[in-house]
């Protein structure tokens, strides 16, 4: 945005809405679509000149300024209305420890997802919401082919048998291991059938409640499976994040939870005729998802204004409630409910009772690389998992890696985008894990003098590691949505999909529905709101 445009803000009419939402990230956009579908008046604003906020897909040249924005701000134009208590707001940066190396060719042809690595299960709730709301008309997906998941183990990459067909074709498993995996996937299918048809299933297909409550890794160890196979099931299929082989695991996965994720994977496989695998990925990046929900909200009457920051809250001092927002233009907008994206730093007017401050301690280290050769020959889209301790003893969490190709319109032909992430409590340890994963998968960044040599060598050595052309490593804070005198949405988290983010958004939506519709929150399901006319 040019300097001379900074003060050229439009006047918004009307000046009172049922809901004002600041930020166009995925949770905020879902809430905007839900409120608009319920017949509520919605003002949806964003300080950026684009949609998506923390969930956006940005051109590569814009990445440095996105990760390290200019702290300067446009001066607030005072309002003449002093009938409210005005509490100033500030923007905070959730990114830190940014390191960038190299120079990408044709940088404007690369699109960077700020939530990567991330995919959507074909059967997950985000896809269902897109279908119910009509958002699926505004975004196109490509299938992530099945059989493209790899496990890093003892310095090598092994295919993860994530379906019965893949188990049959796998040459690294012995007969006993294949038999157990067949039984495990058969059990999962029985669970799906029981849930869909309320059937009983065969007794041999049931797991006892005692086993369901066991740590999933203990259940697998009972069957005397080798460590590599257990790691594949726990970290690459059931998607556990933290080291499960320790008594102080931050999040211990139970058998019940593990089976639930495997069931989601199994039911996702083949759901759509043009997507044979379990995962799909949005064309042009994940930033298309919030835009799809924003379009749905706009069709239902929501008003959108970009390049419009919020400068202050309008508070009722006596009741400690939020009455609206003061925009940077100086205009006051009143509302029944205000929702902020997590980039707004809100003064603590009344201490939250849910201990939400502890969320500031959660972090995820992320990495982005550009390479000119696939990690695996004849594969364009790959999901790679580094189990805890697979790179070093200090590695306490899994590292996930997603390779994308030009088929998704995120990079030029012949190039690949690679995303890495791992949850971390310490920024230094998290970044070290990401860098070690990069070193394990790729050759060092190639200088101009080495580039020709590497290309010549690769003709005679198909196993040569891809060279890194450009890379970025940084750390992002993770915060869940909060509900007090105002509502705040969650940041992107460390997981592979959107389940946790949507669960957090549901809590915000429940609170809002209870207030706006004057009905018990438990009586209205989030998905039902899209059926309102």
- Distance set, CA 453 to CA 82, 93, 392, 462, 465 (Å): 70, 41, 31, 14, 13
Q: What is the tens place of the pLDDT at every residue in 444-497?
A: 765 544 444 444 444 444 468 899 999 999 999 998 877 665 788 999 999 999
| Token pair recorded at residue 395 | 């590695």
Between 103-112, 269-278, 463-472, the lowest mean confidence (pLDDT) is in: 269-278
Please count the other Cβ atoms lying within 10 Å of the Cβ belonging to residue 9.
Answer: 18
- Mean pLDDT for the stretch of residues 374-380: 86
The vertex-22 CA angle with 20 and 28, nearest 5°, equals: 90
Pairing of strands 16-22, 42-45: parallel
Nearest residue to 322 (alpha-carbon basis) of 286, 350, 291: 350
Tokens of 509: 């939506």
For residue 378, pLDDT over 90 is answered with no
Least confident residue range of 98-102, 148-152, 504-508: 504-508
**pLDDT given at position 345:** 81
Helix (H) or strand (E) holding 417: strand 416-424
Report d(CA 449, CA 431) in Å as an integer.
Answer: 28
* Residue 333: strand, helix, or coil: strand
Q: How is 454-482 classified by DSSP, letter by letter?
A: HHHHHHH-TTPPPBEEEEEEEEEE----E
Residue whose C-alpha is closest to residue 343's, from 64, 58, 91, 46: 91
Backbone φ, ψ for residue 472 (5° rounding): -145, 135
What mean pLDDT do residues 428-436 have? 94
Q: How far is CA 264 from CA 71, 115, 254, 261, in A?
A: 43, 21, 16, 5
Tell me how far apart the alpha carbons of residues 258 and 494 are, in angstroms, rounded to a whole number: 18
* 310 close to 52: Cβ distance less than 8 angstroms: no
pLDDT tier at 197 (50, 70, 90 boundaries)? low
* pLDDT reported for residue 527: 52
- What pLDDT, on the 0 to 100 scale, is given for residue 504? 83
Judged by average pLDDT, the poorest of 235-244, 280-289, 330-339, 353-362 is: 353-362
In the predicted structure, residue 100 carries a pLDDT above the cut 50: yes
What's the average model confidence in pLDDT over 34-47? 92
List the one residue out of 466, 290, 497 whose CA is nearest residue 383.
Answer: 497
The token pair that represents 350 in the structure block: 């009344």
Is the previous residue joined to 35 through a cis bond, with omega within 30 degrees of 0?
A: no
Task: Give mean pLDDT, residues 39-45.
Answer: 94
Cα gap 523→507, rounded to integer Å: 13
In this prediction, residue 362 carries a pLDDT of: 87
Quote the tokens at residue 314.
Answer: 């309008």
Laid out side by side, the sheet with 399-404 consists of 95-102, 468-477, 363-371, 416-424, 399-404, 382-386, 149-153, 156-159
- Which of 1-15, 372-386, 452-466, 484-498 reaches the highest mean pLDDT? 372-386
Q: Which tokens sit at 238?
A: 């059931």
Cβ neighbours for 194, distance < 8 A, ≥ 6 positions apart: 200, 201
Q: How many CB atoms lie within 10 A of CB 99?
A: 12
Check whether 385 has a pLDDT greater than 60. yes
| pLDDT reading at 164 higher than 70 | yes
Rounded CA gap, 247 and 530, in Å? 43
Q: How confident is the model at residue 32 (pLDDT cuts 50, 70, 90)?
A: very high
d(CA 66, CA 58) in angstroms, rounded, equals: 8
Of residues 532 and 508, the one with the higher pLDDT is: 508
Collapsing DSSP states into helix, strand and coil, what is residue 434? Answer: helix
The CA angle 406-408-410, to the nearest 5 degrees, is 65
| Residue written as token pair 């089976």 | 259
Residue 215's nearest CA partner among 169, 265, 258 is: 258
Residue 346 pLDDT greater than 90, yes or no: no
Res. 5: pLDDT tops 50: no
Q: What is the model's pLDDT at position 407?
A: 92
Nearest to 281 by CA among 418, 370, 407, 132: 407
Is-contact 494 391, C-beta < 8 A? no
The closest alpha carbon to 401, from 377, 425, 417, 389, belongs to: 417
- Give me the residue label for tokens 């190396």: 101
Bond into 117 cis (ω within 30): yes
209 vs 231: CA distance, rounded Å:
23
Q: How is residue 351 written in tokens?
A: 């201490």
> Which residue ranges form the domains of the chain, and what is each CATH number?
3-94+287-356+480-531 (3.50.50.60), 149-268 (1.10.405.10), 363-477 (3.30.519.10)
Would you say 491 and 483 are in contact if contact means Cβ atoms under 8 Å apart? no
CA 510 vs CA 35, 48, 350, 505, 528: distances in Å: 12, 28, 21, 9, 12
How confident is the prediction for the chain on average, in pLDDT? 83
Residue 120 has pLDDT above 70, yes or no: yes
């Amino acid at each position: 945005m040019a300097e001379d445009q900074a003060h050229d803000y439009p006047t918004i009419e009307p000046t009172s809405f049922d809901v004002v939402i600041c930020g166009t990230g995925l949770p905020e956009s879902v809430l905007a679509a839900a409120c608009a579908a319920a017949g509520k008046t919605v003002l949806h604003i964003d300080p950026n000149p684009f949609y998506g906020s923390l969930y956006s897909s940005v051109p590569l040249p814009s990445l440095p300024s996105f990760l390290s924005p200019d702290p300067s701000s446009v001066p607030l134009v005072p309002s003449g209305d002093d009938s409210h208590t005005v509490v100033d707001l500030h923007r905070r940066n959730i990114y830190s420890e940014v390191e960038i190396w190299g120079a990408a060719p044709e940088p404007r042809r690369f699109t960077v997802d700020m939530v990567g690595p991330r995919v959507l299960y074909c059967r997950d709730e985000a896809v269902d919401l897109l279908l119910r709301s009509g958002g699926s008309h505004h975004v196109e997906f490509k299938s992530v082919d099945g059989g493209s998941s790899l496990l890093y183990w003892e310095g090598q990459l092994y295919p993860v048998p994530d379906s019965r067909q893949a188990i049959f074709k796998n040459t690294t498993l012995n007969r006993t291991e294949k038999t157990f995996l067949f039984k495990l996937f058969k059990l999962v299918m029985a669970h799906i059938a029981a849930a869909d048809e309320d059937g009983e299933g065969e007794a041999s297909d049931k797991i006892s409640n005692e086993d369901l409550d066991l740590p999933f890794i203990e259940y697998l160890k009972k069957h005397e499976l080798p460590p590599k196979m257990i790691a594949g099931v726990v970290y690459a299929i059931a998607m556990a994040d933290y080291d499960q082989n320790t008594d102080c695991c931050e999040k211990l996965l139970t058998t019940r939870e593990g089976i639930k994720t495997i069931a989601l994977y199994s039911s996702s496989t083949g759901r759509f005729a043009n997507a044979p695998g379990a995962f799909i990925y949005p064309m042009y990046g994940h930033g298309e998802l919030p835009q799809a929900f924003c379009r749905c909200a706009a069709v239902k009457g929501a008003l959108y204004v970009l390049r419009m920051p919020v400068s202050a809250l309008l508070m009722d001092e006596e009741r400690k409630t939020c009455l609206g927002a003061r925009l940077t233009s100086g205009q006051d907008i009143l509302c029944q409910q205000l929702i902020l994206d997590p980039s707004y730093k809100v003064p603590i007017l009344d201490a939250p009772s849910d201990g939400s401050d502890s969320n500031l301690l959660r972090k995820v280290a992320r990495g982005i690389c550009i390479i000119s050769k696939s990690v695996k020959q004849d594969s364009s889209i790959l999901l790679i998992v580094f189990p805890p301790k697979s790179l070093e003893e200090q590695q306490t969490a899994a590292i996930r890696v997603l390779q994308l190709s030009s088929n998704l319109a995120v990079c030029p032909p012949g190039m690949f985008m690679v995303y890495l992430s791992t949850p971390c409590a310490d920024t230094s340890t998290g970044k070290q894990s990401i860098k070690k994963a990069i070193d394990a998968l790729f050759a060092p960044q190639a200088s101009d003098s080495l580039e020709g040599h590497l290309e010549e060598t690769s003709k005679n050595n198909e196993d040569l590691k891809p060279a890194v052309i450009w890379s970025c490593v940084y750390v992002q804070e993770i915060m869940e949505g909060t509900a007090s005198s105002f509502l705040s949405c969650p940041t992107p988290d460390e997981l592979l999909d959107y389940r946790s983010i949507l669960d957090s958004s549901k809590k915000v939506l429940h609170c809002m529905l209870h207030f706006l519709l004057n009905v018990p929150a438990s009586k209205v399901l989030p998905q039902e709101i899209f059926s309102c006319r």
